Amino acid sequence: MLELRHVGKDWQARELLRDISLSVAPGEAVAILGPSGCGKSTLLKVIAGLEPPDAGSVHWAGQDVTRMPPERRAFALMFQDFALFPHLNVQDNVGFGLIEQGVGKAQSRALACDMLERFGMGAFAKSRVQPLSGGEQQRVALARALITRPRVLLLDEPFSALDAELRQQLREEFRQRIGALQIATVWVTHDESEARAMGARGFRLVNAGLQPVW
């Protein structure tokens, strides 16, 4: 189980997160709602280990991982701007994390192609990432985040650039995968109806604190 205990974080003399406590069980999804600039993305970075908290701690399965470097946590973060690597093609982007896990290049490519097929992106495996549309890039980023079977999945507005039909399709795909792979998921969104449709617990980040919404 992922646990945040009394996490606090300031940025440029402004209190972004104050006394945040939260637990997310494997297979469970938690949605964080809130206006732009309220600290939602910072919260994800603190969980991922990319930003150190100024107070409190992050735990996984009872172990304090606050000082553990991000690459050892197996918490995959999908960025709002996707952060696809422009020097790698689509399949190598998706297989990036597998290579870091020691999987051979050929096998990682094969697994990446499988994953891309499931996201309807099989035809783009060898394409460069820059010419892809926003929706296509988003699917590549989701595939890249999921392929390493992370213990925790952190999603920053994951469906924002998708059209309604694809959003519905991926939402379903996500719900199944998170449940099947028992991934604890925290995701930041503006869309309350989407968060409810995913069956997630919902919180709102207001004045640096988390308030349960449903």
Partner 1 sequence: MQPRARWLLAAVPLAFLLVMLVAPAVRLLWEGGQLSLWAPLQDSYLRWRLLWSFLQAAITCAAALVLGLPVAWVLARLDFAGRSLVLRSLMLPFVVPTLVAAMGVLALCGPQGLLARLGGPDLQGSPWLLLYGNLFFNLCLVVRAAVEALQHVNATHVLAARSLGASPWRAFWRVEWPAIAPWLMSALCLVFLYCFAGFGLALVLGGSEYATVEVEIYTLVAHELQLAQAGALALWMLALTGLVTWAYAWMQRRLSAPARFDAMPLCPPQRWTQWLGVAAALAVLGIVCAAPLLAIAWHAALAGPAAWGVLLEEDTLQALWNTFRFSALALALASALGLLHALAARHSLLLRTLVFLPFVVSPVAVAFGLLLLYPQWTDSAGLLICAYGLLAYPFVAQSLAAALDHMPVHMAQAARSLGASPVRVFWRITLPLLRPALRRGMAFAAATAVGEFAVTLFLSRPEWATLTTLIYEHLGRPGALNRDAAQVLSCLLMLLALVAFVLIEWPSQRPPAKARHA
Residues that bind partner 1 (CB under 8 A): 45, 48-50, 69-77, 79, 81, 83, 85-87, 96-97, 99-101, 130, 133-135, 144-145, 148, 154, 161
Nearest to partner 1 of 81, 172 (CB atom): 81
Nearest to partner 1 of 82, 204 (CB atom): 82
Nearest to partner 1 of 74, 208 (CB atom): 74
The answer to whether 112 and 95 have CB atoms below 8 angstroms apart is yes
Q: Residue 163: helix, strand or coil by DSSP?
A: coil
For residue 206, the minimal CB distance to partner 1 (Å) is 26
Q: Which two tokens stand for residue 75?
A: 């918490």
Strand partners, 89: 128
Q: Residue 133: helix, strand or coil by DSSP?
A: coil
**Which long-range contacts link 176-180 to residues 24+ away (Cβ below 8 Å)?**
177/146, 178/27, 178/29, 178/153, 179/27
| Helical H segments across the chain, by residue range | 40-48, 90-94, 96-100, 105-118, 134-147, 164-181, 192-197
Q: How many CA atoms does the CB half-sphere of 104 hold within 13 Å?
A: 3
Nearest to partner 1 of 59, 128 (CB atom): 128
For residue 54, the minimal CB distance to partner 1 (Å) is 17
For residue 103, the minimal CB distance to partner 1 (Å) is 11
Nearest to partner 1 of 104, 134 (CB atom): 134
CA distance 160 to 192: 12
For residue 207, the minimal CB distance to partner 1 (Å) is 27
Q: Residue 122: helix, strand or coil by DSSP?
A: helix
